Amino acid sequence: MKLKNNYHIAVVGAGVVGVEMIRVLRQRNFPIEKIKVLARSARAMTVDGQTYQVEPISAESFNGVDIALFAGTEGEKGAAVTFAAEAVKRGCVVIDNGADFRMEKDVPLVVPEVNGNDVKKHKGIIANPNCSTIQMVVALAPIHKKVGIKRIIVTTLQASSGAGKAAVEQLKEEISMIASGGFNNVHVNTTNKAMSQQLAYNVFPHIGGFVEGDYTSEEWKLVKETHKIMHDNKIKISATTVRVPVRTGHSESVYIETRKPITVAAIKKLLLKAPGVILVDDPKAALYPMPKDVEGKDETFVGRIRQDAFIKNGFWLWVVADNLRKGAASNAVQIAEVLIKK
């Protein structure tokens, strides 16, 4: 891809992440010459008052395109499997939000605040990590760089929008049914069944399929993607991923054990300086990150930092981010920003 003043951009996908990608490109003033939206079928879509004509995707759609942002879908095989190679053949750089290429050896897996230099290693495709991985590594990378992290135990509390628009509609429909007095068999009677269980007035520890060791694929993503991004396969990581009745914004309870001693005050000082991190940590004043406060923002918010009462080098952190933005669209656009600077 040649460096130039303005770029021809394709956004592949017209769902919640595709919409957010268009919004973020505009909000971050990405240098765009032309933008096209590609999906399975033609239609019109409106984002923040501007109408875009969605074109049916084909290999020829990528002729003349400099950068293609593939929106992807959580847990699904994305369009990039079919069209990424065709796009690259035509001189386009693919930034894929789907899971299909993340663990490929020759595909960089990038969070710009953590391993932005890995963009230089691309051979046409750059992978966007999983939403829950992104916010966790943004918060932990400064600590790992300073004193090393030998162990991570994380429980994620993931919003409905992480499973797509239909999952958000399922939550809304279930809440409406319960509010009207129909609590029994809500999931059975719901028109939208994007999620495996009722989510309204409920949580369930099932995101992705159950695979090795009875962990879900979403839980293994946190392990394998963190190792790749942090360039450290020795970190011991264990995860539980939970779907919660929140529209947008993933929260994570993260426990770490550091290799070298450090204090809570020193961790806070590191995070105050860390790119892409906002520290909100005054629990006595009821100030800590919450999903309702981070929606629409690109930063990762961290609070409730405290030392384990029994383990010298053990610490807890509470990490929250907008999963559609930093967890998907914004991180992809930030990768594109690094790409054009290189």
- Catalytic residue list: 131, 250
Q: Name the phi and psi angles at 167, rounded to 5.
A: -70, -40
State how far the Cα of 80 lies from the Cα of 77, in Å rounded to an integer.
8
Where are the extended beta strands (E) located within the chain? 7-12, 32-39, 43-47, 50-56, 67-70, 93-96, 125-127, 149-158, 236-243, 250-258, 277-279, 300-307, 314-321
Spatial distance between the Cα atoms of 231 and 211, rounded to a whole number of angstroms: 24
* Strand order across the 300-307 sheet: 236-243, 149-158, 250-258, 314-321, 300-307, 277-279
